[in-house]
Amino acid sequence: MRPPRGCRRRGVVVGTVTLCLAAGWALQTPGGVSLTVPQPNINATVAQNILLSVEYSCRGVATVEWKHVSSWGTTKIVEWKSGNYVNISAVYKDRVTIFENGSIQLLNVGMRDAGYYFVTVTEEHGTNTYGAIIVNVYEIIYEDIHFVAVLFAFLAAVSAILICFMWLCNKSLHLFQKTTHKLSASTTEEIELETIEC
């Protein structure tokens, strides 16, 4: 029994695709490019300096490119080729430092610096690899600290007033007990005098 024509064609297509993938894998340039991103998620506060750390290796000379993608759009940060040139965009001119291992440092980050940072390392033979780092930037909210300080001062004042009130109550109680004790003592003396006179 012969398989239907459609199945035979699908088998030929799958076989051809598999063969092409295997040939591409076997003919890759030796070594290629490898990229490691040790910290793919970074949390920072406003005005802090952050290091977008990566480590790449390749046999030839590589070109490194960093881009920032956020809700405000995509911005190219920097592109450089080891030992040849460095091209830093005008927006990041005084805010970025590059390192030979492919890492960059952003100085004085703001809320607009939050988002995704993509690094592309391309070897001179055309092979490339990608990496991504997510950066979250948080504001220090001084209003919360102010609220806590005011609440603490208020509670301290209420505690001081309550302590003074308790002290006054205690003194009044002692004074009342002394007065009652004197009255009872004088009443007892009068009763004894009346008894003696009778």
Residue with token string 């590059």: 98
pLDDT score for 68? 97
DSSP string of 33-93?
EEEE-S-SEEEEETT--EEE--EEEESS-EEEEEEEEETTEEEEEEEEETTTEEEE-GGGT
Going by pLDDT thresholds of 50, 70 and 90, the confidence category of residue 21 is very low
Does the pTM surpass 0.75? The reply is no
Which H helix or E strand runs over 13? Answer: helix 5-26
What confidence score (pLDDT) does residue 187 get? Answer: 67
Taking only the tens place, the pLDDT of each residue in 77-91 is 999 998 788 999 999
Structure confidence at residue 23 (pLDDT): 42
